[in-house]
Structure 1
Amino acid sequence: MKVCRWIPEDGLGIEHLALRQEGEIILAQGAVIGGRHGEDYGAFYSIRCDARWRVRHALIEVAGGGRLELHADGEGHWQDGDGAPIAQLAGCIDIDLTASCFTNTLPIRRLHRVLDERQVVDVAWVWIPDLKVERAKQAYTRLGADMYRFESVGRDFQADLQVDADGLVLRYPGLFKRVS
């Protein structure tokens, strides 16, 4: 098991992650505490991936707030917690939680071999704390052994992420830095 913590570079908050592999399952469990637009939040997440780092299940619970459960087949088909298809997420393989540094690891690990060239992916983007889900286009490019460029396509945002050997972020300039 690997345990990591990140703090915001500006402001208060923390993310705590416990990551482990159990056979063909990769399980990430974490908690995020922070604030956005003047609203403080605390949330727990559990993300289960298959051995190829494709999201298969996600559960996000906001303390004193809502709960979001998503199921995916690893081929781009998503369902809500009740089994209803989510058409707007068709084709998405990864999930990105707005309050989490960890979720950048998912496409980095899944696409590792092809990231020498820019790869554009669609992700299920979950806003915390309101748990709104939308489709977002992102791009990743390997810049070096421990550096990846992240782009939020169409939102005019990019950052060069420094990562460890496991693809876990060490520094996300302007947003997060790892403290353990």
Structure 2
Amino acid sequence: METCRWIPEAGNGIEHLTLRRDGAGLFAQGAVIGDDFGAFYTIRCDSAWRVRHALVEVAGGARLELHADGAGRWQDGQGVSVPALAGCIDIDLTASCFTNTLPVRRLGAALASRHEIAVAWVHLPALTVEAARQAYTRIAPRLVRFESLGSGFMADLTVDDEGLVVHYPGLFRRID
């Protein structure tokens, strides 16, 4: 089991994450506290780091549950197909550093070249979700370029040997 914590570089808050790995894959549980919200998340991935289940709950009652088949097909918590997320393999929670690790680990050595991906982008605290285009490229052993293709935002993320973010310039830094 591994535990990590991040704080924002501006404003108040914290993200606390606990990771457990076994032969079936990865189980991540986390809590994110922002200036005006608190949320809990659980993300399960298979052994290839493809998201298979995500549950996000905002303090006060809002809840989002998604299931994925690892090949880009998603369903909500009631088993209803979510065609707007077709082709997404990863999930990205707006207030979470951890979710950047998912494509970094899943793509692994392939990050030697730029990879455009689609992610299920969950906005916190509203819990709205949409497909978003992103790109990841390893530019040094511990440096990964993240690009949000819809907005033009780009950041060079410092990661550890496990692909967990150590520093997300302007947004987050790890404190553990």
Give the letter aligned to residue 25 of structure 2.
Answer: I
* 1:95 shift after superposition: 0.1
Gaps of 5+ in 1: none
Aligned to 1:4: 4
Aligned to 1:105: 101
Give the % identical residues: 66
Aligned to 1:156: 152
For residue 111 of structure 1, give the secondary structure of its aligned residue in structure 2.
helix
Q: TM-score, normalised by structure 1?
A: 0.97
Give the letter aligned to residue 8 of structure 1.
Answer: P
Give the letter aligned to residue 40 of structure 2.
Answer: F
CA distance in structure 2 between the partners assigned to 1:32 and 1:52 by the alignment: 25
| RMSD between superposed Cα atoms in Å | 0.6
Aligned to 1:16: 16
* 1:113 shift after superposition: 1.5
CA distance in structure 2 between the partners assigned to 1:122 and 1:156 by the alignment: 15
Aligned to 1:61: 57
Gaps of 5+ in 2: none
Deviation per CA, 1:12-65: give whole Å up to 9, x if none: 000000011022120010000003xxxx00000000000000000000000003
CA distance in structure 2 between the partners assigned to 1:22 and 1:168 by the alignment: 18
CA distance in structure 1 between the partners assigned to 2:102 and 2:3 by the alignment: 16
Selected match of 1:173 from 140, 163, 169: 169
Aligned to 2:77: 81
For residue 115 of structure 1, give the secondary structure of its aligned residue in structure 2.
helix
Give the letter aligned to residue 44 of structure 2.
Answer: R
Tell me the matched-pair count.
176
For residue 37 of structure 2, give the secondary structure of its aligned residue in structure 1.
strand
Q: Is the 8 A contact 2:67 2:75 kept in 1?
A: yes
Residue 144 of structure 1 pairs with residue 117 of structure 2 = no
For residue 113 of structure 1, give the secondary structure of its aligned residue in structure 2.
helix
Residue 134 of structure 1 pairs with residue 140 of structure 2 = no
CA distance in structure 2 between the partners assigned to 1:52 and 1:14 by the alignment: 28
Q: TM-score, normalised by structure 2?
A: 0.99
Selected match of 2:91 from 95, 108, 130: 95
* 1:154 shift after superposition: 2.3
Q: Is the 8 A contact 2:76 2:82 kept in 1?
A: yes
